[in-house]
Amino acid sequence: MGEDLAGTVSYLFELGMLKRARRTGWWIAGVRDPESIAEHSFRTAILGSILAAMEGADPARTSLLCTYHDTQETRIGDIPRIGRRYLTAASNESVTADQVAKAPDAVAEMIRSVVAEYEQGETLEAVVARDADKLECLIQAVEYRHQGYADVQRWVDSSRSSLKTGAAIRIADTVESVGILDWLR
């Protein structure tokens, strides 16, 4: 019970930055007030659980991988694809290790293992989580296009071409045929 939780609480405060940090690629497309990293991660986690159910993967594990997939961006930012040509960033695993270095061992190990599994991309849950990340980007692009941002098609196309699972591909196909406000009916 005498466990020092200051490192864990510091990590939680750090993750709060994800609610304020914007996804920078959308600025390139002209979106004035793009979604935050936390907003992206939330829908990615939901998508991950749905895709996992459709693909026979563990929905809870997949959602967990999705939840942590961009947490390193508190330290390295959301580097757009074009920026990656010019920068060499630390691995997400090493950023995560620094982020949780002062957390209790059980907490740090859980977070490090989740990030490592996502980054290695070898388990079915990791493959599905990566598809959820790309599919969320595709859905967001379609929503921005509906709002009048015309230069988002490259995000739709690149996200679509990155999908690996049948479930993600089927949902991507359906995204283009369903109106974004059809849920109101």
R_g of the chain, CA atoms, integer Å: 17
Q: What is the mean pLDDT of residues 11-31?
A: 95
CATH of the domain at 149: 1.10.3210.10
Torsion sign (Cα): 135, 82, 78, 87: positive
- The per-residue pLDDT for 2 is 54
Q: What is the mean pLDDT of residues 162-168?
A: 98
Helical (H) or strand (E) element with 85: none
Q: Which among 51, 14, 33, 31 is positioned nearest to 136, based on CA atoms?
A: 51
Buried b (16+ CB within 10 A) or exposed e, 135-167: bbbbbbbbebbeeebeebeebbeebbeebebeb
Q: Which among 39, 60, 42, 38 is positioned nearest to 51, based on CA atoms?
A: 60
Domain that holds residue 146: 6-184
Residue 44 lies in a domain: yes
Specify the number of domains making up the chain: 1
Q: What is the dihedral of CA 32, 173, 50, 57, to 10 degrees?
A: -120
Residue 146 lies in a domain: yes
pLDDT surpassing 90 at residue 83:
no
Distance, C-alpha 177 to centroid of its chain: 24
- The per-residue pLDDT for 81 is 82
pLDDT per residue over 101-153, tens digit each?
999 999 999 999 999 999 999 999 999 999 999 999 999 999 999 999 989 99
Residue 1 lies in a domain: no
